[in-house]
Amino acid sequence: MMEADDSWEWARDHFGDLELGDARRTARIVEMARTAARRPAGRVLDVYLTSADRQGAYDFLENTAVKSAAMVDGIGLAIASNSQVHPYVLVSVDGSSLNIVDRNDSKGFGVVGNVSRSGRGLKVVTAYALQPDGTPLGVLDQQWWLRSKTKVDKAMRRRRTTEQKETRYFNQAILQSARRLEGRAPGTRAWFLLDRESDRHATLELVHGMNGHWFTIRSNHNRRVLNRSERSGPLHHRRIFRNSPRRRFIDDVLHRTNVQGRLHLDVPARPHRQGRHAVLSVRVAAPHVWLYSQKGPASAAHMTLVEAREVRTTPRGEKPVHWRLWTNYPVKTFDDAKLVVETYAKRWRIEDFHKTWKSGACNVEACQLRSAEAAIKWATIMASVAARIERLKHRSRTEAALPASVELSEYEIQALIFFKKKYKKKTETIPDEMPTLSQAVTWLAEIGGYTGPRVSGGPPGSITIRRGLEHIRPGALIFESIASESRKKKR
């Protein structure tokens, strides 16, 4: 019976090898994850319906012998193992905050947002693994921390080393992701995708020095470019560079670079941005750039810069898409440059993950746990659940013809057909045979309140899919129980 349950297989795959000091704890988290996948929600009491299950979940989360770091490591290793069938995986690395209610400031959370506004919660950097085509694989790493409530002045910020800055959490997420892939999938590269906040000296030096992995970082600075004499001579102090009459910058290099070609890119709708089919012109440069640091020696690095700028497709009142992408991917042709741009566009998947995880289907910001460590453990479980929901949503859109059984259990499909027939429109005919994955997800979303692309403005989202799963779950349990009783009678 359990072998036919996809959520059980998923939970064992992601959590079954966790080293938590006791096999009973591992069994507990597998069962917790399985139930959470079936009934995702932000609060423990909304996921587990019986008193015994709720108490077991609370005991596990509050158990000081269970370390959140061990959970993150075990889940990351499972994702790395699942990556070995791909020549490379995309790893989108991004920071975020969980805003959690702590009115009396008694739960030990740190500051999120503006220090003066007294927001409380957790800070996290997530390394989110994707297949080369953008299909979500799962969470490869998460780095958690509590931001201090002490306000740091500008002079003190300038004196801090990388080990004292939050930059270190981005770097640690990159290093841990690479370590897990090298251990579990040695034939698979990581292609790290990072936004403008990671255009820093320490992060650029780190990824530039990593062997066997690729990176793409969106530029946030008009960096200094070394001329031929500066590259051949010793690297001088940054003040000498600033005062040099022959100094050049990236803007100067790109201004003299011809457009290599144009590509088409689907830009999804976001707040203050219309979805559209954008046309981007592409330039490529390969300069030696100066990675200066306010502390310690400067360094030089030879990297490729791919610039993509939107032309003629920008809606009125919006800024055009304009990316300058640093990469170590070997760009020798226009197709290589096109791949860099199209790959970076898949970084948006982590924003969808954050929405599903934080305030959407999993709604982890609604958790009411009493300590920061318990909240981190719960959020870690729900992060994997959110990635599963995103994978289901993505596959339903890109692999529509697959049978629904690749993501849903036998009993979930039976319950889905039953409820769809009950609530179908008069003009609809619902067949009894196996639906496609696209059909199944659309039916789930319709049961969960989805009103179609014309009204909703797009395909089904994670919230309506979750509501549909919640609705059919009791029916799936009934079908499962009937099948179990039938097998017992046959014996």
366-389 confidence digits (pLDDT tens): 998 989 999 999 999 999 999 998
Q: Are 61 and 75 in contact (CB under 8 A)?
A: no
The residue-averaged pLDDT of 161-187 equals 94
Comparison of pLDDT for 159 and 332, the residue scoring more: 332
How far apart, in whole angstroms, are the C-alpha atoms of residue 218 and residue 12? 37
Question: What is the average pLDDT value for the chain, to the nearest integer?
Answer: 87
Around 134, how many Cα atoms within 13 Å sit in the side-chain half-sphere? 19
Task: Compute CA distances 386 → 98, 160, 248, 411, whole Å.
Answer: 14, 35, 46, 22
* 248-249 and 224-225 strand pairing: antiparallel
Q: Give me 378's structure tokens.
A: 């719960």
pLDDT confidence band for 2 (50 / 70 / 90): very low
- Residue 465 reports pLDDT greater than 60: yes
Percent of the chain, pLDDT > 70? Answer: 90
Cα Rg of the chain, angstroms: 25
Using alpha carbons, select from 339, 353, 427, 430 the residue that is nearest to residue 387: 353
Which alpha helices (H) appear in 51-166, and where do they start and end? 51-62, 68-82, 154-159
pLDDT confidence band for 453 (50 / 70 / 90): confident
pLDDT of residue 40: 87
- Residue 155 reports pLDDT greater than 80: no
- Residue 401's Cβ-count burial label (10 Å; 0-12, 13-18, 19+) is exposed
Q: Are 88 and 397 in contact (CB under 8 A)?
A: no
- Residue 324 reports pLDDT greater than 70: yes
pLDDT of residue 1: 24
Using alpha carbons, select from 160, 148, 93, 157 the residue that is nearest to residue 123: 148
How far apart, in whole angstroms, are the C-alpha atoms of residue 353 and residue 388? 10
How far apart, in whole angstroms, are the C-alpha atoms of residue 99 and residue 445? 28
Q: Which of 112-116, 358-362, 480-484 has the weakest average pLDDT?
A: 112-116
Using alpha carbons, select from 344, 345, 441 the residue that is nearest to residue 397: 441
Q: Are 304 and 204 in contact (CB under 8 A)?
A: no
Q: What is the largest CA-CA distance in the chain?
A: 91
Q: Give me 233's structure tokens.
A: 């001579």
Which amino acid is residue 171, in one-letter code?
N
Q: Which residues contact 53 (CB under 8 A, 6 or more apart)?
A: 35
pLDDT of residue 476: 84
- Residue 454 reports pLDDT greater than 80: no
pLDDT of residue 457: 66
Q: Are 447 and 419 in contact (CB under 8 A)?
A: yes
- Residue 341 reports pLDDT greater than 90: yes
Sketch out the chain's domains with CATH numbers.
2-66 (1.10.246.40), 68-358 (3.90.350.10), 404-490 (no CATH)
DSSP 8-state class, residue 134? S
pLDDT of residue 229: 60
How far apart, in whole angstroms, are the C-alpha atoms of residue 488 and residue 491? 5
Q: In the sheet that 299-302 helps form, which strands lie side by side, from edge to edge?
A: 248-249, 224-225, 288-291, 299-302
pLDDT of residue 148: 84
How far apart, in whole angstroms, are the C-alpha atoms of residue 320 and residue 361? 32
- Residue 36 reports pLDDT greater than 60: yes
Which amino acid is residue 145, in one-letter code?
W
pLDDT in tens, 48-89: 989 999 999 999 999 999 999 999 999 999 999 999 999 999
pLDDT of residue 204: 92
Comparison of pLDDT for 474 and 139, the residue scoring more: 139
pLDDT confidence band for 5 (50 / 70 / 90): low
List beta partners, residue 284.
306
Q: Are 481 and 466 in contact (CB under 8 A)?
A: no
pLDDT of residue 237: 46
pLDDT confidence band for 402 (50 / 70 / 90): confident
Using alpha carbons, select from 226, 280, 220, 281 the residue that is nearest to residue 252: 226
pLDDT confidence band for 464 (50 / 70 / 90): confident
pLDDT confidence band for 228 (50 / 70 / 90): low
Q: Are 183 and 80 in contact (CB under 8 A)?
A: yes
- Residue 336 reports pLDDT greater than 80: yes
pLDDT of residue 4: 37
Determine how many CB atoms are found less than 10 A away from the CB of residue 130.
29
pLDDT confidence band for 157 (50 / 70 / 90): low
* Beta strand segments in 146-254, E: 189-194, 214-218, 224-225, 248-249
pLDDT of residue 24: 95
Q: Which of 73-77, 105-109, 150-154 has the weakest average pLDDT?
A: 150-154
Q: Which of 205-219, 294-308, 394-408, 464-478 has the weakest average pLDDT?
A: 294-308
- Residue 3 reports pLDDT greater than 80: no
How far apart, in whole angstroms, are the C-alpha atoms of residue 323 and residue 284? 12
How far apart, in whole angstroms, are the C-alpha atoms of residue 459 and residue 455? 10
The residue-averaged pLDDT of 119-133 equals 95
- Residue 269's Cβ-count burial label (10 Å; 0-12, 13-18, 19+) is exposed
Q: Which residues contact 9 (CB under 8 A, 6 or more apart)?
A: 3
* 261-267 and 189-194 strand pairing: unpaired
Q: What sign for the dihedral angle of Cα 152, 157, 159, 164?
A: positive
pLDDT confidence band for 239 (50 / 70 / 90): very low
